[in-house]
Structure 1
Amino acid sequence: MQNQKVTFENSRGEALTGLLEMPVNQLPYAYAIFAHCFTCTKNIDAECSISRALTMKGIAVLRLDFTGLRHGNGALEGNRFSANVDSLVQAGRFLASEYSAPSLLVGHSLGGAAVISAAHELPSVKAVATIGAPYAPEHVSHLLQGKAEQMNARGVAEVSIGGRPFNVDEQFLEDIRQQNMEPMIERLGRALLILHSPQDNVVAIENAAWLYQAARHPKSYISLDGADHLLSRRQDALYVGEMIGSWADRYLDAHEKEALKVEKQVAVRLGERGYTSDVMVRQHSLTADEPESYGGDDFGPSPYELVAAGLGACTAMTLQMYARRKKWPLKEVRVHLDHYKEHAEDCENTEDPKSKIDHFTRIIELDGPLSEEQRQRLLEIANKCPVHRTLHSPIRVLSNLK
């Protein structure tokens, strides 16, 4: 499913746009609000990857643009920390009225400080996660060292965050100086997860220690070793999303939720970029992709590898089922498979010189004190496993548009 564009107003009557991303089955068990870093837009790759990982856990995610960054214009002038906190609160009230009240807040960089503040105004929130967040918003003022002359002359100063230039004005700095975060952290009253990279050169790792010391339990910390502040490597962003989703399960009544299901046996979702696909099989979720050599990101098995995996799993299950029924001492089955195509010289369709047939090579290891006769019989049974027989049978695929 594509992201849903939503629009609502903040307390000053300004229109804010957001993207609401749903799980594959469109039946989330919880809703989250993601406050991206103030120098990012809702479409930045890191934010998209984190949101995607959360939806794979069954959590719907609302991502929104803050005032001054709606078009990714690289400007922090006109952007206020206090106003952005208000925008998060209004986003929570919008979800409560139109969908379901948010139970999880996630914030990246200054967005992390913002969600801690906003949580106090949203009683439905049960858990808060921060990513590379400063202990106090004014921490970012260190980026302006040596910029006093530029600030005095122009009223704004250009700073570099993650190699990208941004303009900061005096009003923005004055606003963040007035924020007293320590009591907000101490009285948070929700589960807190702090994620931070030791190599973060924008918000130093000491901020994570100060946050952790100020917060009360339940609180947790995860090191994002090797990641930069903006999580520019996609694998870092996906890791963050997966960790937050798994951690949040403990606090969002996940054990009480109904098993996530799809209308059909399998549902697959792929957006407009790349080949990384969300796959849902009944209540189970996984990721499919293509290898880098085929233009993918290699974040999951390829479609043919999934077919081979199905054949391997079916083979192992069938052999153990047969051995148990016969009471044979089969301790363990290991199946190794490869898939490739080769020219079908002996194929019936010899008129087509480009004709190829698919080959699956299957190596089966059987552990246990089996006789040679038993081993040969199990090899025969392997060729009768249901998936093996399906691959050898005529197959019909019926496709319809919805």
Structure 2
Amino acid sequence: MPTERITFPGHDGSELAARLDLPDGPHLATALFAHCFTCGKDIPAARRIAARLSSIGIAVLRFDFTGLGHSKGEFANTSFTSNVDDLIAANGYLTERGMAPSLMIGHSLGGAAVLKATSKLNNIKAVATLGAPFDPEHVTHNFAEALPEIMAHGAAEVSLGGRPFRIGKGFVEDLAEGALAPSIGALNAALLVLHAPRDETVSIDNAGEIFLTAKHPKSFVTLDSADHLITRSEDAEYAADVIATWARRYIALAPPAPPPGAPEGVLRVSEADPEGYLTDITSSDGHHLLADEPLAYGGTNKGLSPYGFLSAGLGACTSMTLRMYARRKGWPLAHVSVDVSHNKVHAQDAETAVGEKIDTWKRRITLTGNLDPEQRARLLEIADKCPVHRTLERSSKVITELVDDPVPASA
């Protein structure tokens, strides 16, 4: 996943630090990610969600709000409104680069901010929230004991997540005035609400309020036992997969034209888990698949194995070939199913060295319909003419070249 480290001016002109995670393959759409209260762009949930979205062609911009992380400016002078304005500034930056976002994602208070910002933007087609509060003032419970001092003296230093932050009176008052109901009701975008029922920081009641206030199209998905920060990798990956699948319905993922000499485009295969075997597969036309190894071989079994994909290709091609032939002949073929199994056997009877193993695929074809014996026999012959069958049975040539590392080790 190529990543650009960039800066752009925030709501008050302060430089905001950001990462733009780009797809390895075709760039099909752009998303804007807003982090949780006092968090940052580099928390595990943000990184994992950005990685999964970029693997299917969606570039993701994640940045630190003013005064947080590596961004400049004073956090004490920020507010919920300034967070919204920072998001609008980020949207403007991407638009100027010719990458206007169509998807916004917000975590916790960032979720409230994207709801507010989306109501002011015309280019956003879909917005997803994770553990977002219905009332932005909800976050004040994180420093409730300091509220009297803040209101009496204008500001106070509080500890949040083991780090000191100076919270001003203006921040608290702005939160109190940040009612989301009007913005959610006027949202001109599809909405996806993700929330964990056991979230102890922002209760799931908030998700219910957001969902009920929004107009259709809207969806709600539970994050089950995830914590508020979505710290477990499996929870972040699940959230990202749900967002990616859901967003396809509402944002344009128009693929570019295939390159010359590759009529079906280029298939990009990229590691999703360097410590295991999980692999992202993205085609030029925007399809996304997962490959993995079974648990018994050290994988996580989240996708077909490489040989499983070969078997699937043979089975799918067989079914399609039979359907094309029966349709052209006008035969009453009602349904086709193909069971495929793969094994390596010793090639004792083949024209290979004794003891050498060859790959063997076994196909069991079931044809349903009012077919006579001659038609069934002919379809069995046609099965052997499917292109993938022929490819597997004849010699193929694989041309391999090494591409220079786009990110040298010394960088």
- Partner of residue 169 from structure 1, selected from 158, 165, 169: 165
How do residues 171-210 of structure 1 correspond to structure 2 at under 5 angstroms? 171=167, 175-179=171-175, 180-182=177-179, 185=183, 188-191=186-189, 193=191, 194-210=193-209
2:218 aligns to what?
A: 220
For residues 56-99 of structure 1, the C-alpha deviation after alignment (integer angstroms, 9 at most, x for no partner) is 66543212234565379xxx989864554343232112112222
Label 1:33 to 1:318 Cα distance change in 2 as closer, same or farther (>3 A): same
CA shift, 1:401, in A, is 4.1
Separation in 2, partners of 1:168, 1:272: 35
TM-score in terms of structure 1 length: 0.79
Give yes or no for contact 1:25–1:262 (8 Å, CA) kept in 2.
no
Match of 2:220, as an amino acid?
Answer: I
Separation in 2, partners of 1:56, 1:273: 12
Separation in 2, partners of 1:5, 1:169: 25
- Partner of residue 313 from structure 1, selected from 312, 316, 324: 316
- Partner of residue 291 from structure 2, selected from 289, 292, 315: 289
1:270 aligns to what?
A: 270
For residues 94-153 of structure 1, the C-alpha deviation after alignment (integer angstroms, 9 at most, x for no partner) is 11222233333210111111223333554543443322101223313334567999x9xx
Give yes or no for contact 1:278–1:285 (8 Å, CA) kept in 2.
no
Label 1:268 to 1:77 Cα distance change in 2 as closer, same or farther (>3 A): farther
Give yes or no for contact 2:190–2:217 (8 Å, CA) kept in 1.
yes
For residues 337-389 of structure 1, the C-alpha deviation after alignment (integer angstroms, 9 at most, x for no partner) is 122334555566648x7x43222222111222434454344333322322111
Label 1:227 to 1:185 Cα distance change in 2 as closer, same or farther (>3 A): farther
User: Secondary structure in 2 aligned to 1:182?
Assistant: coil
CA shift, 1:218, in A, is 4.2
Separation in 2, partners of 1:373, 1:300: 39
1:70 aligns to what?
A: 69
2:131 aligns to what?
A: 132
1:102 aligns to what?
A: 101
Label 1:246 to 1:295 Cα distance change in 2 as closer, same or farther (>3 A): same
Separation in 2, partners of 1:299, 1:225: 18
How do residues 357-396 of structure 1 correspond to structure 2 at under 5 angstroms? 357-396=358-397
1:162 aligns to what?
A: none
Separation in 2, partners of 1:262, 1:288: 22
Separation in 1, partners of 2:328, 2:126: 49
Separation in 2, partners of 1:320, 1:249: 29
Separation in 1, partners of 2:66, 2:343: 53
Separation in 2, partners of 1:292, 1:67: 45
Give yes or no for contact 2:88–2:117 (8 Å, CA) kept in 1.
yes
Q: Work out the percentage of aligned pairs sharing the same amino acid.
A: 41
Separation in 1, partners of 2:383, 2:84: 61
Label 1:43 to 1:393 Cα distance change in 2 as closer, same or farther (>3 A): farther
Label 1:297 to 1:137 Cα distance change in 2 as closer, same or farther (>3 A): farther
CA shift, 1:273, in A, is 3.2
Label 1:185 to 1:296 Cα distance change in 2 as closer, same or farther (>3 A): farther
Give yes or no for contact 1:330–1:369 (8 Å, CA) kept in 2.
yes
CA shift, 1:271, in A, is 4.4
User: Secondary structure in 1 aligned to 2:117?
Assistant: helix
For residues 220-260 of structure 1, the C-alpha deviation after alignment (integer angstroms, 9 at most, x for no partner) is 240315142233455544454454445555654x3xx7555
The CA RMSD over aligned residues, in Å, is 3.8
Separation in 2, partners of 1:21, 1:250: 22
CA shift, 1:270, in A, is 1.4
How do residues 313-352 of structure 1 correspond to structure 2 at under 5 angstroms? 313-344=316-347, 350=353
For structure 2, list consecutive stretches of 5 or more residues without a partner in the other structure: 151-155, 404-411
Separation in 2, partners of 1:220, 1:343: 56
User: Secondary structure in 1 aligned to 2:302?
Assistant: coil
User: Secondary structure in 1 aligned to 2:31?
Assistant: strand
TM-score in terms of structure 2 length: 0.77
